[in-house]
Structures are given as structure tokens and as C-alpha cells.
Amino acid sequence: MTEAEPHAALGLGPRLERSFFAEDVLDVAPALLGTFLTVGPVTVRLTEVEAYAGESDPGSHAFRGPTPRTQVMFGRAGHLYVYFTYGMHWCANVVTGSEGHASAVLLRAGEVVAGEEVAAGRRAGIARRDWTRGPARLATTLGLRGEDSGADACAEDGRIALHAPVAHVPAGRIRTGPRVGVSGAGGDATAYPWRFWLADEPSVSVYRAAKPRARRRGA
């Protein structure tokens, strides 16, 4: 069996190249739906993402310019930006756009399609539908942590890779709406309908509107 054969059996198409990510974040985000993210032994089919446009986006960590933590977002597309939130969780993003202009897609949810035993061990006692339902759960199931921030998903010898689906995702399955828990400019979450998800997927997050007193930022 060749290396490509098990990939095809899972529905994985060609590996996504850097040029895929080096586009506007609002184009890359919906295009990531249905793609497959592999981190070591675990592969997840992405079902929900959010777009963050850096210095032009009040909801982005990079809104006020580069910091030691967010510097990776100003680098080459295709690298991961992994951050710690609420003092207990890691969340993962993939950098998009052109170098020097920060933007990234938060990977919010997905469905485990390979590495189920490893995923189950990492999510012991958690119902399968909740293994990757939300960005922190997704990162935990994939084993992503702070040391993975800056990892190149386009590197041929890396443990992280993204593959296109064999079957095209119909545009009619893609939904969009406000980002979860992000108020945006003037407190209006609806001004940024930059969350994208696949309809009728049990792994997709339950939408929660932003709370002004507990505002958080995504990537």
C-alpha cells in the first residue's frame, strides 16, 4: 500500500500548499471547511473556523501590532499560531495572507477521522461528539500546545499537515455568522460575520453571543 492510499481511503486529497494560505483570510477561512488537519497520529476533518484580520480587526490578538506572542501572525502563511486562554486551554490558528500583515484562521471544530484510539485517550470520559467541538477541545484532541506555535504546516517533514478533501464541499453547506464570544468594534458582534461552519455537523459549536464584561479576542 502506498502512502497515498490510506489518505484516499479517508477522503484526503492533495496536501495544501503555501499558496493556498497566502490569500485573504476571508477567502481562506471558508475554503478550510472540509479539509483535513493531521497532527501526528490524529486526523480531523474541519467543520468550523473563524477569520481574524489582524490590525484591521478589533477582535484579533494582533490588532495593536506585533508582540512576542503574536509575531508569528506577521510571518509567512501556513504557520500555526497557538495561544493559551483562560489560564488552562490552548487554541490553534493557521496564519494567512501576505508576510508583514497579520491575519489568521482560528480552527474551531472538527470530526476525528483517524487516530481514534489516541484521541479517546486524550479525551477520556468525554463524549465523542465533544472531542473536537470548540477550539480548545480541538487543540487538546490533536495534542497541540504552545511549543507548536510557529510550526510550519507546509513543511514536508513536519508532523502537522493540511489536506484538501477528495470530494468538493458544496457551497450550499457553508454557513456564516458572528464569531463566538467576540464583540468587535463598538460591541457589535454582527459587524463581523466571520465564523464559517458546515451545516448539519454535530461537531459545530453552539453559538454564544459576546458578553461585554467578559470580552475575549480570537487570533
Structural domain that includes position 44: 4-214
pLDDT at residue 10, as a whole number: 74
pLDDT at residue 181, as a whole number: 76
Establish if 199 belongs to a structural domain. yes
The total of structural domains in the chain comes to 1
pLDDT at residue 205, as a whole number: 84
Establish if 219 belongs to a structural domain. no
Establish if 79 belongs to a structural domain. yes
Specify the DSSP class assigned to residue 49: E
pLDDT at residue 98, as a whole number: 95
| Alpha carbon distance 75, 177 (integer Å) | 28
Establish if 10 belongs to a structural domain. yes
pLDDT at residue 208, as a whole number: 67
pLDDT at residue 87, as a whole number: 73
**Which are the contacts of 79, defined by CB distance < 8 A and separation ≥ 6?**
72, 94, 95, 150, 151, 152, 153
pLDDT at residue 64, as a whole number: 87
**Which are the contacts of 94, defined by CB distance < 8 A and separation ≥ 6?**
21, 28, 32, 78, 79, 80, 81, 104, 105, 107, 153, 162
Residues of the chain with pLDDT under 50: 1-5, 212-216
What CATH number has the domain bearing residue 89?
Answer: 3.10.300.10
